[in-house]
């Protein structure tokens, strides 16, 4: 039996368990470990597990992400801030900036600290957004004006990639959207070979969006950092918002800066530390 030390944190309600495994312990846990620990009834409960691994070639650390269902994912904008909190406590980085390798590429994280030195927020350079179908990936000629109909409801929106795939749909009011009913169907849309995250988005004011999200491998979550970025990028391309956007989600709000790359700012909160026996 192996004891695994975990820290639970959340970014705007999107919660993660962060694990710094000794040596190669991460490779020794059973395949169902991630789903079991993320189970909200029989485990600790989380939207995913982040494994913090040693960095190489100038990176302070590396992040490996598993969704709540145990599947691998490339990147999480909220998760990387949670990982940064744990990395900062472990004295990785210089206390102001953290360089993290992810499956979506290298990411720079600027830390926001309180008077005690704890991370309370961070700004992440999320890299560029792509609308190239092969890079999303998307099996369609164009990522724009995609359509899907379920139970008499027709959705329209655009696909985008920001290290992972997204389908951004514009609705009258996300609060009324059938996220839990149609999100699973859209996640498995045959046009997305790696499945997709799905954002239900509305313009709420000048340079402001509201959003609910169905996350690939996790279900509806209170926030999704990459989804927030994809929603802002799609809305900007359509001329609905400028290059500084506030995106409100059920778990809080994020600030998004659009340019050659996308910068995401949001909070991070440490909830507790625990251990489980595997």
pLDDT number for residue 27 = 67
Examine residue 213 and state whether it is found in any structural domain, yes or no: yes
pLDDT of the residue at 278:
80
- Asked whether the beta carbons of 83 and 76 are under 8 A apart, the reply is no
pLDDT in the model for residue 24: 67
Residue 139 maps to a domain: no
271 and 217 within one domain: no
User: How many domains would you assign to the chain?
Assistant: 2
Specify whether 254 is located in the same domain as 271: no
The verdict on residue 171 lying in a domain is yes
Residues 114 and 164 in one domain: no
- Domain at 154, CATH number: 3.10.310.10
Count of beta carbons in the 10 Å neighbourhood of residue 40: 11
Q: Give me the pLDDT at residue 23, please.
A: 72
Q: Are residues 105 and 189 in the same domain?
A: no
- pTM equals 0.93
Per-residue pLDDT tens digits for 23-48: 766 667 888 999 999 999 999 999 99
| Residue at 218 is within a domain | yes
Regions of the chain where pLDDT drops below 70: 1, 24-27
pLDDT, position 165 = 98
Shared domain for 192 and 210, answered yes or no, is: yes
Range of the domain at 62: 3-127+266-277
Q: Is residue 120, in this structure, part of any structural domain at all?
A: yes
Question: Does the residue 243 lie in any domain?
Answer: yes
Same domain, 116 and 186: no
On whether residue 123 sits in a domain, the answer given is: yes
User: What gap in Å lies between CA 217 and CA 274, rounded to an integer?
Assistant: 24
Is the same domain home to 110 and 157?
Answer: no
Same domain? For 8 and 121 the reply is: yes
Residue 141 falls within a domain, yes or no? no
d(CA 276, CA 179): 32
Same domain, 192 and 123: no
Phi, psi (deg, nearest 5) at residue 169: -110, 135
In a shared domain, residues 116 and 168:
no
């Amino acid at each position: 039996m192996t004891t695994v030390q975990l820290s639970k944190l959340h970014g705007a309600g999107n919660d993660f368990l962060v694990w710094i495994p000794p040596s190669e312990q991460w490779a020794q846990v059973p395949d169902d470990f991630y789903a079991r620990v993320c189970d909200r009834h029989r485990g600790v409960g989380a939207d995913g597990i982040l494994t913090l691994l040693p960095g190489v070639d100038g990176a302070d650390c590396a992040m490996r992400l598993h969704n709540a269902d145990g599947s691998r994912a490339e990147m999480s904008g909220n998760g990387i801030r949670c990982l940064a909190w744990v990395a900062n406590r472990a004295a990785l980085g210089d206390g102001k900036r953290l360089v993290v390798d992810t499956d979506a590429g290298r990411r720079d994280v600027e830390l926001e600290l309180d008077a005690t030195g704890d991370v309370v927020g961070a700004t992440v350079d999320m890299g560029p957004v792509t609308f190239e179908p092969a890079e999303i990936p998307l099996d369609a000629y164009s990522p724009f004006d995609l359509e899907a109909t379920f139970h008499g409801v027709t959705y329209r929106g655009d696909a985008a990639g920001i290290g992972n795939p997204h389908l951004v749909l514009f609705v009258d009011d996300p609060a009324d959207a059938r996220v839990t009913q149609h999100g699973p169907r859209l996640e498995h849309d045959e046009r997305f070979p790696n499945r997709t995250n799905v954002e239900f988005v509305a313009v709420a004011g000048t340079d402001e969006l509201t959003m609910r999200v169905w996350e690939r491998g996790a279900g509806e979550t209170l926030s999704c950092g990459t989804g927030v970025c994809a929603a802002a990028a799609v809305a900007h391309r359509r001329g609905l918002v400028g290059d500084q956007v506030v995106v409100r989600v059920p778990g809080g709000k994020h600030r998004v800066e659009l340019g050659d790359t996308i910068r995401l700012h949001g909070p991070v909160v440490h909830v507790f530390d625990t251990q489980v026996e595997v």
